[in-house]
Amino acid sequence: MIEIRELTKFYGKGSRMTPALSNLNLSIGKGEIFGIIGHSGAGKSTLIRCINLLERPSSGEVWIDGVNMTGLNRKQLQSRRRKIGMIFQHFNLLSSATVYDNIAFPLHLDGRPKAEIDKKVKDLLALVGLEQHATKYPAQLSGGQKQRVGIARALASDPDVLLCDEATSALDPQTTASILKLLLDINQRFNLTIVLITHEMHVIQRICDRVAVIHQGGIVEQGPVAEVFIKPQHPVTREFIMRETDQGEELQAAIAASHPSSSQTVRISFLGDKTYESILSRTVRRTGVDFAILQGTISTLKNVPYGLLTVRFEGDEKAIRETTQELSAQGLDVEVIGG
């Protein structure tokens, strides 16, 4: 659906040129919710604006649905952009227009008949749950309601792709959850491809199918969310995971604290139905090993349950080895992180 090939973007001129993106490659499938996560300044916003060519790449290609966007002239690009919706962190609504007119705005630009516009806007108001707010102005709305207007406006032209530029970072946690639920519903209802950029890992884990981690203008890691979340490879990814699961200084201190000479600290990852099984307790009963849970998280990755435990095993060295081997044999991922 979306192919990004060797994408590079520089700002400035001559000796003052600064790279924002460097030889970046991505492939995003039809109907996928694809997350892009990175710190401020990593290149997230530049990348998403290059996808619809609001920013023109310095080199490389952007293909959407078999069309090379970077090879289109201005008129062709304007036509193709109608099939790419976009929502923004700060909503970008017309302050002097009502909710109804904000949603209708792109339809008026397309020259749609009045009756068609009216039906479409009313359908979209129902979709985003704002039927009672059609005549209000943006200043009369909450942040979540404003973003719902932004989503409805982005959907007005029946896009194939929806780009979300930090769409929830200005919202409180409860409102964020409701907006993410709405985006997931839209994705499932219309098989809409969604590209979502964020600096918040919990946003990725809640609705995304796959994720790419961007750092200093390049993709340093990508893959299915569960795989990247449970087995992060790059230090930046691990930083995001540790921050999300609260694996901070206290945990590191607990790992480093004095403990019996015959002990081992491990990180155990569960995924799917195994998350709720008593595998650990059954195993240590059989092997006779004592254990202390130093940190634990149970949550979901797009409705798939997962667990992360940091555990210190204490006891006979052979029994500890048997314990970790048995846990691995039962499908758990076990990583030794300390003696």
The mean pLDDT of 244-262, rounded to a whole number, is: 61
CATH, residue 107: 3.40.50.300
Starting at the edge strand found earlier in the chain, the sheet holding 218-224 runs 84-88, 161-165, 193-198, 33-37, 210-215, 218-224
Check residue 171 and report its DSSP letter: S
- Parallel, antiparallel or unpaired: strands 333-338 and 304-314: unpaired
- Parallel, antiparallel or unpaired: strands 210-215 and 33-37: parallel
**Residues 87, 123: one domain?**
yes
**Residues 134, 260: one domain?**
no
CATH, residue 318: 3.30.70.260
**pLDDT computed for residue 14 by the predictor:** 75
Q: Hey, what are 314's tokens?
A: 């204490």
Q: Report pLDDT digits (tens) over 199-210.
A: 988 899 999 999
Its domain, for residue 280, covers 254-338
- Percentage of residues of the chain with pLDDT beyond 90: 68
In a domain, 248, yes or no: no
* Average pLDDT in the chain: 90
In a domain, 319, yes or no: yes
Using the 3D structure, point to which of 242, 272, 288 is the last residue of a domain: 242
**pLDDT computed for residue 254 by the predictor:** 59
Rounded Cα–Cα distance for residues 89 and 137 (Å) = 18
**Residues 38, 87: one domain?**
yes
Distances (CA, A) of 298 to 90, 132, 230, 253: 32, 38, 12, 22
Using the 3D structure, point to which of 242, 267, 299 is the last residue of a domain: 242
Using the 3D structure, point to which of 215, 242, 269 is the last residue of a domain: 242
In a domain, 210, yes or no: yes
**Residues 301, 209: one domain?**
no
Alpha helices in the chain (DSSP H): 44-51, 74-81, 99-109, 114-128, 143-155, 173-190, 201-207, 225-230, 235-244, 249-256, 279-287, 317-329
- How does residue 335 score in pLDDT terms, banded at 50, 70 and 90? confident
Q: At what angle do helices 143-155 and 114-128 cross, to 10 degrees?
A: 140
**Residues 193, 332: one domain?**
no
Q: Residues with Cβ < 8 Å from 96, sequence gap 6 or more?
A: 137
DSSP for 197-258, written as a single string:
EES-HHHHHHH-SEEEEEETTEEEEEEEHHHHHHS--SHHHHHHHHHHTT-SHHHHHHHHS-
The mean pLDDT of 111-138, rounded to a whole number, is: 96
In a domain, 33, yes or no: yes
Rounded Cα–Cα distance for residues 213 and 6 (Å) = 16
**In 3D, which of 64, 73, 140 has the Cα closest to residue 102?**
140
Q: Hey, what are 60's tokens?
A: 């490389």
Least confident of 108-112, 122-126, 242-246, 329-333: 242-246
Q: Report pLDDT digits (tens) over 6-17.
A: 999 999 887 788
Q: Are 297 and 307 in contact (CB under 8 A)?
A: yes
**Residues 269, 227: one domain?**
no
- Parallel, antiparallel or unpaired: strands 304-314 and 290-301: antiparallel
**Residues 194, 221: one domain?**
yes
**Residues 117, 53: one domain?**
yes
Q: Supply the pTM of this predicted model.
A: 0.87
Bridge partners of residue 296, in order along the sequence: 309
In a domain, 159, yes or no: yes
Question: How many Cα atoms within 13 Å fall on the side-chain side of residue 204?
Answer: 26
**pLDDT computed for residue 253 by the predictor:** 61
In a domain, 247, yes or no: no
CA dihedral 138, 144, 145, 151 (to 10 degrees): 100
**Residues 11, 109: one domain?**
yes
pLDDT score of 115 more than 90: yes
In a domain, 249, yes or no: no
User: Which residue in this structure is represented by tokens 């709720």?
Assistant: 276
Q: Give the count of domains, the chain.
A: 2
User: Which residue in this structure is represented by tokens 């995971």?
Assistant: 241
**Residues 259, 213: one domain?**
no
Bridge partners of residue 270, in order along the sequence: 307
First to last CA, the chain: 47
**Residues 127, 14: one domain?**
yes
**Residues 143, 187: one domain?**
yes
